[in-house]
Amino acid sequence: MNKTKKMMVGVLTTLMAASLTACSDESLPPRPDDPECDDWEWDASTGTYVCDDDDSSHYRHYYYGGHYYSSKRKLQRSAAYKSYQHSPEFKARARSGIGSGTKGSFFGG
């Protein structure tokens, strides 16, 4: 294997490892335990969970602080969420990068 191929394998291996690490659920808070929704998806751009249960009346609603928000705009207007946005916890969970779901990644997203 020549040097270029070895370098490319190394770069791709590093990117794959970083991608898998970024998608890990270990750093996320526990999923909400709410009977109104049985399926949750993490939204890295807001640092909150979104109800992904299409049988729920809260389908695609953001969930923060025990409340559902029907849109990202309504979530962002919440005083509790505004406070959360300035916390170190939020900054650690909602940063951009590989696997975060936000633009501006390594590939220029």
pLDDT of residue 104: 40
Q: What is the pLDDT of residue 20?
A: 45
Model confidence at 51, in pLDDT bands (50, 70, 90)? very high
- 68-103 pLDDT, tens digit per residue, is 999 999 999 999 999 999 888 887 776 544 444 444
- The answer to whether 84 and 104 are in contact (CB under 8 A) is no
Beta bridge partners of 40: 51
Greater confidence (104 vs 5) lies with: 5
Listed in order, strand segments (DSSP E) in 1-109 are: 40-43, 48-51, 62-64, 67-69
In sequence order, the 6+-apart residues with CB closer than 8 A to the CB of 80 are 64, 65, 67
* Of residues 50, 22, 19, 23, the one with CA closest to residue 37: 50
Given this model, what pLDDT does residue 88 score?
A: 87
Among the listed residues 95, 59, 65, 60, the one whose alpha carbon sits nearest the alpha carbon of residue 78: 65
pTM: 0.62
Q: How confident is the model over 28-50, as pLDDT tens digits? A: 889 999 999 999 999 989 999 99
Q: What type of residue is 20?
A: L
| Mean pLDDT, range 9-32, rounded to an integer | 62
Kindly tell me if the per-residue pLDDT of 62 is higher than 50.
yes
Q: What is the dihedral of CA 101, 102, 105, 109, to 10 degrees?
A: 100
